[in-house]
Amino acid sequence: MRLKRTEREFVSLQRVCRVATVGADGRPHNVPVCPLMVADKLYFASEATAVKVRNLERTGQIAIAFDEYTEVWSSLRGVLVWGTVRLIEAGPVFRRVRRLLYQRYPQYEEQAALEEREAVLVEITPTRKFSWSF
């Protein structure tokens, strides 16, 4: 499943989005993350022990929402993506994506360095989407 060009452009410009996972008890977990889009994959980083990572290890499923709010409701727009995940803990892909995240979010390197095996990069392969105003 591929996003339309306009959806990809919108997603690529967003500095934050919301990630939803589900715990073993069925309870939803929703948190903001700093996304990165590379080709048709989405990425974000997390501590390896975070709740969202534990949920993803168990289910392999994710929902991620990108939206732009305005008081002019006819201008609201957003993209909701469902997908499967791969957790990347180390290696060349980890280092390449980490470098891209550091370029996009310079704060990471100074304030929340992403060390192999301590951090996890979550790679999302979209399987379904819903968008509005595109």
Nearest-CA neighbor of 66 among 97, 44, 35, 38? 35
Q: Which overall architecture, per CATH, does domain 5-132 show?
A: Roll (2.30)
Task: Determine how β-strand 17-22 pairs with β-strand 61-68.
Answer: antiparallel
85, burial (CB in 10 Å: exposed 0-12, middle 13-18, buried 19+): buried
**% of the chain exceeding 90 in pLDDT:** 94
pTM metric for this prediction: 0.95
Specify the amino acid at residue 90: A
pLDDT tens for residues 15-46?
999 999 999 999 999 999 999 999 999 999 99
